[in-house]
Structure 1
């Protein structure tokens, strides 16, 4: 669906300078925020969860962003499907429980009832001429990649399959389809979603802002990522069954959905992302050892993952209002790992809990400064190299209305 553009949007887009941050209005105007949801979020692939959450037919959970709510479920044929949580009668939410198991979904307002295929089973007292086949739930598009579930609710769907095919061999050793959520947490921040996402996209801030992270991750200082450090990781990786290829799509100068895979070294003494550097959970997939590295995986700008040899962290930055974003973090371990026996939850989550608390602080004060009428966008640093690609894609999508 094409959405009406905010007044003056084209002129605002033209005022953007390549290589500089976005102007203030993109983070402070209510009309642009709502346009973001309709034109950008609705037409992007969004990571919503993992197949382990819906193991049986009828299992479901809700995923919500902006003004939208989506029912993600496993249908009677055991397929993963997603439906807009909007009754086709007068728009009520059909499902109000955040997760569960159901044979049907019955709207609490007027009892219109839908089956697991989204079909309307009947509209109560609608008369003999009413045709229920015309009023099924609106269906979202779904892709499942190595157990990770992605949805797109809009009519304009970015091409995703080619990128996923190229990532498949790189992700395979980690056994992402055989994971379970060990912990999930939400870190609400009073800031526009773009500031939260931009913070994740660059490590220019890592050294001054993330003391714990910077003790172990060489990404905080590219000059420390020496050839010797990289080669040592790659040698251990080959022995453990890990690929070291870098994948970045689209290629420079091309447009399209972003895919990124890169394994980079931790500092000596760290086998994984933990306080001590020691392993915190069983090895993932078919890995046979630790290479002292971690993987940045991006499937579309909105969906980001860190993959250590023994656990996975998924990050998303979900808009809930103009200047309110839910930083949602999920820690995954191997599917058969047992809490208290194979891993200690507090030890597992320590690093990225601390890092997320840091992020909540720096994103909050970033928004406070951007709210000033005196804010003027400054130039991006070399270490903020990924942000221009996001800006280009974002501005293109909101200009076209999705």
Structure 2
């Protein structure tokens, strides 16, 4: 019987999950095989692939994928597995190459994934049968997403709905200013759950809570939203909302919410950090939460964007990756200060590492009994629904 199927009868909607959800090796194996491999995963940005031959790799669990720009300027995504005897093909995180050559037996592949050369394979061997295994790929406003599943969750209609609400930021014309990694000794699902709720933001994120009204629903309803909408219209920032949790489709969420008075952006002092994104005409004092698939989370201010990933590396080892984006022509030292730009979300991510680590330590106890979710933890319930629906598809 599937390991997840064994847990389903004990799951109580509206409550946290049971201990085994975060501690079972069988569940973790299913997480990668049945959830991550069949979900849309944010793997990079088109600015990392400027020239033909540019490539990046992205790893999760035991899996690795290659994303490359070919000689016709197309972008493709492939499993980082040689079709001969399975060696990792590309060993670098990024670079530029004419071809991909296996370090084991020198099978060589074109940038399009086609097998170019395999020595001494004998009569009847057809190279056309042994190209790299390709993945589904979408480029949304410069953000690159891949899915390894045969039938990926439907995403195109959702991206169509998101596009007009994201277009004014012109994310395709941004670049990565900084990337930081925060290893945490915890199951990846605890890291995702932590991001999916702001119930903890007030007590656990003191710096964040000074500027972001989302920490407390009472602040969100105290006239700040109406004031934000007027400022957003004046600055050219859309304030529409998208929520989609349809079965068989990628979960999508987008909403702009107000920062507290005196904060133009997510900074230590409230002052702007970098040049305005895209075609914006001013600061509205807001932040846009955007989720494209449960696994991929972004926060867009008027002058920069943060991308968050929570990548499993082992049963209780997760790589929290935080990526800061600025306008493509912005220069460090001239247009922004690197330390000021990264201060808030570096401090917040250190908090996250600490609270997620302690969460895992408590969940490991045989005395852990799942408690009820608060009204502010509705995002966790949405994650559970998505996770269990995907897993149920595999069980059937």
TM > 0.5 between the two? yes
Q: CA deviation at 1:85?
A: 0.4
User: Is the contact between residue 104 and residue 116 of structure 1 (CA under 8 Å) also seen in structure 2?
Assistant: yes
Q: Per the alignment, do residues 130 and 98 of structure 1 end up closer, same or farther by CA in structure 2, a change over 3 Å counting?
A: same
Q: Deviations over 1:255-304 (max 9, x none)?
A: 63211110000000100000000000000000000011100001011000
SS at match of 1:270: coil
CA distance in 2, matches of 1:355, 1:230: 24
Q: Is the aligned partner of 1:274 residue 2:267?
A: yes
SS at match of 1:177: helix
TM-score normalised according to structure 2 size: 0.98
SS at match of 2:172: coil
Q: 10, 19, 25: which one pairs with 2:20?
A: 25
The match for 1:50 is 45
Q: Is the aligned partner of 1:5 residue 2:2?
A: yes
Q: 72, 75, 99: which one pairs with 2:94?
A: 99
The match for 1:256 is 249
Unaligned runs of 5+ in 1: none
Q: Is the aligned partner of 1:354 residue 2:347?
A: yes
Q: Deviations over 1:210-230 (max 9, x none)?
A: 000000000001101135211
The match for 1:236 is 231
Q: Is the aligned partner of 1:224 residue 2:210?
A: no
CA distance in 1, matches of 2:33, 2:245: 24
Q: CA deviation at 1:13?
A: 1.0
Q: Is the aligned partner of 1:330 residue 2:323?
A: yes
Q: CA deviation at 1:128?
A: 2.3
User: Is the contact between residue 255 and residue 393 of structure 1 (CA under 8 Å) also seen in structure 2?
Assistant: no
The match for 1:344 is 337
Q: 68, 73, 77: which one pairs with 1:73?
A: 68
CA distance in 2, matches of 1:371, 1:401: 27
* Runs of 4+ displaced beyond 3 Å: none
The match for 2:129 is 134
User: Is the contact between residue 58 and residue 75 of structure 1 (CA under 8 Å) also seen in structure 2?
Assistant: yes
More moved, 9-18 vs 170-179: 9-18
The alignment of Structure 1 onto Structure 2 pairs a total of residues equal to: 395
The match for 1:305 is 298
The match for 2:148 is 153
Q: 370, 381, 385: which one pairs with 1:377?
A: 370
Q: Is the aligned partner of 1:319 residue 2:316?
A: no
Q: Is the aligned partner of 1:292 residue 2:285?
A: yes
SS at match of 1:14: helix
Q: 16, 30, 33: which one pairs with 1:35?
A: 30
SS at match of 1:226: helix
Q: 149, 160, 176: which one pairs with 1:165?
A: 160
CA distance in 2, matches of 1:338, 1:10: 52
CA distance in 2, matches of 1:134, 1:102: 23
SS at match of 2:109: strand
Q: CA deviation at 1:98?
A: 1.2
More moved, 368-377 vs 228-237: 228-237
Unaligned runs of 5+ in 2: none
User: Is the contact between residue 153 and residue 248 of structure 2 (CA under 8 Å) also seen in structure 1?
Assistant: no
SS at match of 2:146: strand
TM-score normalised according to structure 1 size: 0.97
CA distance in 2, matches of 1:382, 1:226: 15
Q: Is the aligned partner of 1:208 residue 2:203?
A: yes
Q: Deviations over 1:301-333 (max 9, x none)?
A: 100000000000000100000000000000000
Q: CA deviation at 1:127?
A: 1.1
User: Is the contact between residue 59 and residue 73 of structure 1 (CA under 8 Å) also seen in structure 2?
Assistant: yes
SS at match of 1:111: coil
User: How well do the aligned residues superpose, as a CA RMSD in angstroms?
Assistant: 1.1
CA distance in 1, matches of 2:153, 2:18: 26
